[in-house]
Structure 1
Amino acid sequence: MQHRAGSSDSATTATGVDDAALTGLRRWNLGLGVLHAVQAVAVLVLATDFAISVIASYAQGPPGTELAEPETVVDVRIGWAIAAFLLLAAIDHVATATVVRRRYEADLRRGLNAFRWVEYSVSATIMIVLIAFYNGIVEVSAVFGIIGANVAMILFGWLQELMNPPGRATTTMLPFWFGCVAGAAPWVAITWNLVAAREDVPGFVFGIFVSLFVFFMSFGVNQWLQYRQVGPWRSYAFGERAYLVLSLVAKSALAWQIFAGSLV
């Protein structure tokens, strides 16, 4: 599970993270913050009252007893949920370019971006839950399981960075692979529902599933390329820019595909 990652006497600052790169990343974060915020406002302005109900069926007796009729736990307004993950991304990008800039840049020099993982743990989880909703997964227990698995996946990504600081003699990929296992669970559940109900599922739901699966996997590919040090990914700064691009593209694609589906 380990491979060599360069000599142990290499610099303790992450590759490619110099003053010029940090200045460029600040501009990227400011620009992406504005783009995410504009989209969030647009969604709120255009949003309808469309909501999806999260339901629950509770036990009525000993194990094996027929469950009670499903009841609504909460109605999730789709427009608001979309705006929420866009606003979270906007706040993260603007904050790392301004009020927490020093901490952000110091962490990047150490090959770490804790702010990214905190934001992803919430925004990416909202995203996967919305995809699950559109594929008929609305039972509250299943939703809790999807939330837990996705948050675990994101935190394993954070652990991957913590366990592989600059100047290391070896690189471990264990947190990455553990994160892949955790992150696969929601997609297995979603795929099951999609295939089982394929004749009744609108075409746009299949489109959302395929495009967002590709985008979600691209984040993992980006981290894998970083820690396998493939081509330009030898530079941690390059990998950080790739995360920024993926964040904008994936969140924008999901936002407008899910939003368009809410108007059908």
Structure 2
Amino acid sequence: MSTSPSSSTTIASGVTDDRLANLRRWNIALSVLHAAQAIAVLLLASSFAITVTSTFPTGPPGTEAPAPEALFDVGIGLAIAVFLALAAIDHFLIGTVLRGRYEADLRRGINRIRWIEYSFSATIMIVLIGFYNGITDIATIIVIIGANMAMIFFGWIQEAMNPPGREHTTMVPFWFGTVAGIAPWIAILVNLLGAETVPGFVLGIFISLFIFFMSFGLNQYLQYKEIGPWRSYAYGEKVYLVLSLAAKSLLAWQIFGGSLAG
């Protein structure tokens, strides 16, 4: 930890002017990469869509559930492009017009903009993964959205409760977020294990994206346990950037390669 030369405010470890300038270049570069992928998906995607369904009750409790009914279709190519575009906009804003707020937050050991963007993009990602494992019921989707957003916001609280210069680190928000975040994956796993057949690319999406999703949590854990290079808050921030690009790109092109191209 260090302090500002003009005040006694504690600055997060590793957040120097040089490191902030480097992070700005990374954010601009990632904005371009995400935007380019969003455009490519829109240009190459087919009209493939997955139907969101409902099984609204038709009688008293215990009545046999009706067959699912179609509510609306979700164009998969458009959905992928949207979450890539959200990431592009996020990185562009924090590299330009929101740079001052972003860097001030990093000095305080927090990145509120990151958590807001993740609450949208990561939630779209988990819903898409659920789609490919047969989770299309509207009620279940709403619950998955809520659980995933809770996980993201617990990550925000973890940072807010552990400012630089603290005498004690609490991991309570982290573990609460872990419980919330694992629930959608358990639901997806239940469907995966119960399916008669599972396409190879669907299994690949589940395994690879589960690893990446858990890597975000591991990154925060290492930050707040201050293990190795993660003693630097700025180092953890760069790892978030790398994971964000890798996870979003991997999901986009796995889904595209597996079902949209044909």
Q: Same fold (TM over 0.5)?
A: yes
CA–CA distance in 2 between the matches of 1:152 and 1:78? Answer: 24
Answering whether residue 211 of structure 2 is matched by residue 214 of structure 1, we say yes
Aligned match of 2:39: 41
CA deviation after TM superposition for structure 1 residue 11, in Å: 6.4
Aligned match of 1:259: 256
Q: Greater relative contact order (Cα 8 A, min sep 6): structure 1 or 2?
A: 1
Gaps of 5+ in 1: none
CA–CA distance in 2 between the matches of 1:180 and 1:158? Answer: 13
Q: Taking structure 1 as the reference length, what is the TM-score of the superposition?
A: 0.95
Q: Over residues 200-221 of structure 1, what are the superposed CA-to-partner deviations in whole Å (9 max), with x where a residue is unaligned?
A: 1111111111100100000000
Q: Over residues 139-176 of structure 1, what are the superposed CA-to-partner deviations in whole Å (9 max), with x where a residue is unaligned?
A: 11110111000000000000000000000000000000
Answering whether residue 204 of structure 2 is matched by residue 204 of structure 1, we say no
Q: Is this contact kept in 2: 1:78–1:262, CA < 8 A?
A: no
- Pairing of 1:2-151 with structure 2 (within 5 A): 12-151=10-149
SS in 1 for 2:118: helix
CA–CA distance in 2 between the matches of 1:17 and 1:93? Answer: 18
CA–CA distance in 2 between the matches of 1:262 and 1:14? Answer: 44
Amino acid at match of 2:246: V
Aligned match of 2:172: 174
Q: Over residues 88-109 of structure 1, what are the superposed CA-to-partner deviations in whole Å (9 max), with x where a residue is unaligned?
A: 0000000000011100000000
Aligned match of 1:229: 226
CA deviation after TM superposition for structure 1 residue 258, in Å: 1.2
CA–CA distance in 1 between the matches of 2:206 and 2:64? Answer: 33
CA deviation after TM superposition for structure 1 residue 59, in Å: 1.0
SS in 2 for 1:111: coil
CA deviation after TM superposition for structure 1 residue 62, in Å: 0.9
Amino acid at match of 1:136: G
CA deviation after TM superposition for structure 1 residue 74, in Å: 1.3
CA–CA distance in 1 between the matches of 2:235 and 2:167? Answer: 21
Q: Over residues 46-66 of structure 1, what are the superposed CA-to-partner deviations in whole Å (9 max), with x where a residue is unaligned?
A: 011000001001111111112
Q: Is this contact kept in 2: 1:43–1:82, CA < 8 A?
A: yes
Aligned match of 1:162: 160
SS in 2 for 1:172: coil
Count residues in correspondence.
Answer: 255
CA–CA distance in 2 between the matches of 1:110 and 1:168? Answer: 11
Aligned match of 1:183: 181
Q: Taking structure 2 as the reference length, what is the TM-score of the superposition?
A: 0.95
Gaps of 5+ in 2: 2-7
